[in-house]
């Protein structure tokens, strides 16, 4: 499921030696595999081949312009959540006309920008938002295409912070209020009822909750088709990826060797379970996967600063930190950590892998067994392609990392490491302090 593997002792992305990338561009640096992304996109497409499908890549997972162009070349639209993301799609030469606009708090300016660029559909989260879209469309003399997001109250069985389809989450309209919401929407002059949407959460590792949500909502979708002639059903994104055995999961045969009941969710299992439920609706099906597309397609390269011996444990201090890869601090999430140069003759160390930031939470792994690595040696955080760079910050005035895209034996810098001058460019000391 990805193109990262050791060639002899050295970790490669496709045919590129990752240590060479680190030497050229420094660390921390994100590296993405274009072939992995292409494979994932095509596998998802093939797995639901029986459907009239539009894939809208959830660009919040990774919105680098190069990746957006790659998706656009594959025929993807985008799942957008801000005016900034609309501008990114345009800057990358992507198509807003096949993209959908989600989010609970779209501003008037963002709605206008989406309409000016011919958005395929707004995914509406509430009646006040619907009124706002109707108003903005009216001032522009156009009709706004919309789908209402249904909250099906299904437990996605994932981390609480990325569960979105339960009744106490902020997202969507409860199924029992949805008919009234559509009726109200149908009476608005500047609204075109185009579809229906749901998204129950992220990093789902089994197909059950997807099936439960589709089964719950599908009869209502069929009613909407009959009464309003809607043309599409978006079932959101959320397909989970492998984090724990990330490196092994990319090697040929790894999946086949697992007993079926232990196999992580694959697009094939997803497609096989959902196609028979969706096909009878006779609608376009929109998918909004983000993590599945890019998560296993990226790593974060980092350099060891020190091995520090503490009172009770050892700390491996590296030059990446929570500002570069927020997921462990935010969700206690697991990222496999591997050396770029593997040396099986070395002993194993048990360490906490930590960054240089002044927070105890700046910790990537606790009591992790790693091959002994010393100052200046390089490591990779696996499965860092999704919600890595896009969630990065400048905390502790640390510059945003560099990003590199690999294809075969070629690689190119797709985002230069931020400079200090760029970080402070918009700041100024007011006259009364001078």
The residue from 13, 56, 358, 363 that is catalytic is 358
Nearer to ligand PLP, 119 or 378 (CB): 119
- Sole binder of ligand PLP in the list 85, 288, 324, 336 (CB under 6 A): 288
Asked whether position 125 contacts ligand PLP by CB under 6 A, the answer is no
Stretch that binds ligand PLP, among 187-195, 225-233, 283-291, 347-355 (CB under 6 A): 283-291
Nearer to ligand PLP, 290 or 328 (CB): 290
Query: Helices marked H in 281-326 — which ranges?
Result: 291-294
- Which x/- pattern, by CB under 6 A, does the window 158-187 give for ligand PLP? ------x-----------------------
Stretch that binds ligand PLP, among 137-145, 175-183, 247-255, 289-297 (CB under 6 A): 289-297
Closest CA to 313 of 341, 343, 351, 282: 351
- Sole binder of ligand PLP in the list 106, 132, 194, 291 (CB under 6 A): 291
Cα distance between residue 90 and residue 110, in whole Å: 14
Stretch that binds ligand PLP, among 35-43, 290-298, 369-377, 388-396 (CB under 6 A): 290-298
Asked whether position 238 contacts ligand PLP by CB under 6 A, the answer is yes
The tokens describing 274, both together, are: 């959902």
Stretch that binds ligand PLP, among 66-74, 285-293, 303-311, 364-372 (CB under 6 A): 285-293
CB atoms within 10 A of CB 434: 5
Nearer to ligand PLP, 269 or 307 (CB): 269
Contact 197, 236 (CB under 8 A): yes
> Minimum distance from CB of 26 to ligand PLP (Å)?
28
Nearer to ligand PLP, 270 or 364 (CB): 270
Cα distance between residue 254 and residue 242, in whole Å: 12
Q: Which of residues 355-374 bind ligand PLP (CB under 6 A)?
A: none
Stretch that binds ligand PLP, among 39-47, 245-253, 272-280, 288-296 (CB under 6 A): 288-296
Asked whether position 28 contacts ligand PLP by CB under 6 A, the answer is no
Active site residue 358: yes
Cα distance between residue 361 and residue 388, in whole Å: 16
The number of angstroms, rounded, from the C-alpha of 65 to the middle of its chain's C-alpha atoms is 14
Closest CA to 193 of 164, 221, 216, 170: 221
- Secondary structure (3-state) at 94: coil
> Minimum distance from CB of 93 to ligand PLP (Å)?
22
> Minimum distance from CB of 21 to ligand PLP (Å)?
25
Residues 6+ apart with CB under 8 A from 247: 4, 5, 336, 338, 382
- Sole binder of ligand PLP in the list 199, 327, 341, 407 (CB under 6 A): 199
- Sole binder of ligand PLP in the list 14, 79, 125, 362 (CB under 6 A): 79
- Calculate helix-pair angle for 267-278, 34-47, nearest 10 degrees: 30
Asked whether position 58 contacts ligand PLP by CB under 6 A, the answer is yes
- Calculate helix-pair angle for 127-140, 108-116, nearest 10 degrees: 50
- CA angle at 165 for the pair 159 and 170, rounded to the nearest 5°: 95
Residues 6+ apart with CB under 8 A from 274: 48, 207, 210, 211, 214, 235
- Secondary structure (3-state) at 224: helix
Q: How many residues bind ligand PLP (CB under 6 A)?
A: 16
Catalytic residue numbers, as ranges: 358
- State the residues that interact with ligand PLP by CB under 6 A: 58, 61, 79, 102, 164, 199, 202, 236-239, 288-292
């Amino acid at each position: 499921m990805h193109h990262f593997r050791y060639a002899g002792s050295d970790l490669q992305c496709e045919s590129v030696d990752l240590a060479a990338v680190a030497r050229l561009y420094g660390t921390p640096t994100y590296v993405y595999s274009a072939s992995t992304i292409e494979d994932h996109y095509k596998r998802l497409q093939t797995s639901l081949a029986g459907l009239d499908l539009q894939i809208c890549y959830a660009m919040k997972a990774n919105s680098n312009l190069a990746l957006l162009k790659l998706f656009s070349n594959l025929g993807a639209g985008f799942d957008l959540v801000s005016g900034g993301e609309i501008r990114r799609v345009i800057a990358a030469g992507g198509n807003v006309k096949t993209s959908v606009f989600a989010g609970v708090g779209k501003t008037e300016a963002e709605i206008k920008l989406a309409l000016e660029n011919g958005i395929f559909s707004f995914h509406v989260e509430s009646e006040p938002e619907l009124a706002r879209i109707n108003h903005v469309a009216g001032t522009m003399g156009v009709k706004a295409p919309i789908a209402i997001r249904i909250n099906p109250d299904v437990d996605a069985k994932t981390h609480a912070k990325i569960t979105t389809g339960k009744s106490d989450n902020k997202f969507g309209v409860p199924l029992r209020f949805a008919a009234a919401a559509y009726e109200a929407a149908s009476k608005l002059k500047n609204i075109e009822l185009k579809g229906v949407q749901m998204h129950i959460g992220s990093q789902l590792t089994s197909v059950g909750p997807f099936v439960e949500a589709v089964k719950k909502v599908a009869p209502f979708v069929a009613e909407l088709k009959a009464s309003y002639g809607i043309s599409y059903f978006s079932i959101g994104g959320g397909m989970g990826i492998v984090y724990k055995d990330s490196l092994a999961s990319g090697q040929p045969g790894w999946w086949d060797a697992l007993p079926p009941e232990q196999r992580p969710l694959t697009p094939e299992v997803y497609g096989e379970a959902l196609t028979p439920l969706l096909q009878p609706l006779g609608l376009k099906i929109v998918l909004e996967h983000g993590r599945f597309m890019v998560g296993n397609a990226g790593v974060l390269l980092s350099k060891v600063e020190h091995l520090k011996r503490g009172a009770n444990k050892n700390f491996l201090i590296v030059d990446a930190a929570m500002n570069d890869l927020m997921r462990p601090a935010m969700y206690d999430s697991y990222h496999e950590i591997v050396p770029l140069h593997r040396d099986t003759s070395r002993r194993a160390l048990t360490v906490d892998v930590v960054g240089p930031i002044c927070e105890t939470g700046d910790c990537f792994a606790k009591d992790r067994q790693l091959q002994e690595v010393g100052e200046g040696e390089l490591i990779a955080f696996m499965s860092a392609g999704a919600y890595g760079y896009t969630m990065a910050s400048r905390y502790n005035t640390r510059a945003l990392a560099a990003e590199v895209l690999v294809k075969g034996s070629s690689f190119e810098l797709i985002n230069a490491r931020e400079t200090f001058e760029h970080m402070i460019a918009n700041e100024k000391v007011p006259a009364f302090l001078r």
